[in-house]
C-alpha cells in the first residue's frame, strides 16, 4: 500500500482556518485520498475523499496538488469540537480489496479557545 | 438507524479466558471490519468480511476468529486471551457506494484489558 506522511501534531485557534498537510509521494493513479478523524474516546468518522480534483463538503475541503503527491485538508473555521486525530489514507481502487483502509498514526489537532 | 453497535463497552479478562465481542449494523452494509487500536497508534485491521459467509484475515489476525452468518452481525472471538490483546476494538461497516468512497461507519468501540 502507498504510504502517507503527516505531522504528529498541530495546533490552531478557535474560529481560525486549519490546514492539515499530507504527503504521499508514491501515490499511484488509482489511489483515492481519504481523510478520517477520530474524536477522543470515539471511533473514526469519515471526513472527505477525492481522486484528482479539489473537493468540498459540509465538514471540510480537500485540496489535492496537481501532481497528487500531496494534499491538504482544510477546516475553514476550527471549533473546539474539531480537536481530534486526523488520518490521511490512500485507498487503492483497483482489484478485489478496493474497500480496505490502512490507518497510520495521523495528526493530533489541538484547538485553543 | 442505530448504525454500528458494539457490546460490551468495557471488559476485563484474565489470561487464558475467552470471550466474544459483538458487532451489529442495521444499514444493510455488505462489508464489515474489525480493528484494534493500541494506545497512541492507528487502527490495525484484524479481520474483514465482504458478505454473509465470507471472511478473510487482515493485518493482525492471530489470536482471533470471526464468523458472519448474517449481513447484520459480525462477532469477534478471542480464544486464550493474552496481555498483548489489551486494546480498544472497533467494528466498522461499509457498502459499495456510487461515489466510490466506501465510507466506513464505526462503532463506539470495546475497551478490553487482559490481566
Distance between CA A65 and CA A97 in Å, rounded?
26
B109: left (phi over 0), alpha (psi -120 to 50) or beta: left
Distance between CA B69 and CA B72 in Å, rounded?
9
Please give the DSSP secondary-structure letter assigned to residue B83. G
Q: Could you say which of B43, B44, B102 has the minimum Cβ distance to residue A99?
A: B102
In terms of CA atoms, which chain B residue is nearest residue A107? B42
B3: left (phi over 0), alpha (psi -120 to 50) or beta: left
Helix, strand, coil percent values for chain A (each to nearest 5): 5, 45, 50
Partner residues linked to A88 by β-bridges:
A35
Distance of CA B111 to the CA centre of its chain: 12
Contact A87 B42 (CB under 8 A): yes
Contacting residues of B for A43, CB less than 8 Å apart: 4, 90, 92, 106-109
Cell 442495521 belongs to residue: B26
Work out the average pLDDT over B58-83: 96
Is B54 at the interface with chain A, CB within 8 A? no
pLDDT at B102 over 90: no
Q: What is the pLDDT along chain A (113 residues), one digit of tens a residue?
A: 568 999 999 999 999 999 999 999 999 998 999 999 999 999 999 999 999 999 999 999 999 999 999 999 999 999 999 999 999 999 887 766 677 888 999 999 999 99
Contact A105 B42 (CB under 8 A): yes
Q: What are phi and psi of B11, to 5 degrees?
A: -160, 140
Distance between CA A62 and CA A87 in Å, rounded?
13
Amino acid at each position: 500500500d502507498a504510504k502517507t506522511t503527516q505531522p504528529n501534531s498541530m495546533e490552531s485557534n478557535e474560529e481560525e482556518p486549519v490546514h492539515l498537510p499530507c504527503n504521499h509521494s508514491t501515490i499511484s493513479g488509482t489511489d483515492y485520498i481519504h481523510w478520517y478523524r477520530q474524536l477522543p474516546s470515539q471511533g473514526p468518522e469519515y471526513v472527505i475523499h477525492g481522486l484528482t480534483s479539489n473537493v468540498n463538503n459540509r465538514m471540510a475541503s480537500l485540496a489535492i496538488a496537481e501532481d497528487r503527491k500531496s494534499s491538504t485538508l482544510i477546516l475553514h473555521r476550527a471549533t473546539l469540537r474539531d480537536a481530534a486525530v486526523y488520518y490521511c489514507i490512500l485507498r487503492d481502487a483497483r482489484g478485489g480489496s478496493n474497500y480496505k483502509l490502512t490507518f497510520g498514526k495521523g495528526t493530533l489537532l489541538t484547538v485553543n479557545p | 438507524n442505530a448504525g454500528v453497535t458494539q457490546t460490551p463497552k468495557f471488559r476485563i479478562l484474565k489470561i487464558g479466558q475467552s470471550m466474544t465481542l459483538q458487532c451489529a449494523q442495521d444499514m444493510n452494509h455488505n462489508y464489515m471490519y474489525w480493528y484494534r487500536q493500541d494506545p497512541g497508534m492507528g487502527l490495525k485491521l484484524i479481520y474483514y468480511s465482504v458478505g454473509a459467509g465470507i471472511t478473510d484475515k487482515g493485518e493482525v489476525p492471530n489470536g482471533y476468529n470471526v464468523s458472519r452468518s448474517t449481513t447484520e452481525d459480525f462477532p469477534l472471538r478471542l480464544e486464550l486471551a493474552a496481555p498483548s490483546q489489551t486494546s480498544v476494538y472497533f467494528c466498522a461497516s461499509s457498502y459499495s457506494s456510487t461515489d466510490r468512497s466506501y465510507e466506513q461507519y464505526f462503532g463506539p468501540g470495546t475497551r478490553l484489558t487482559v490481566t
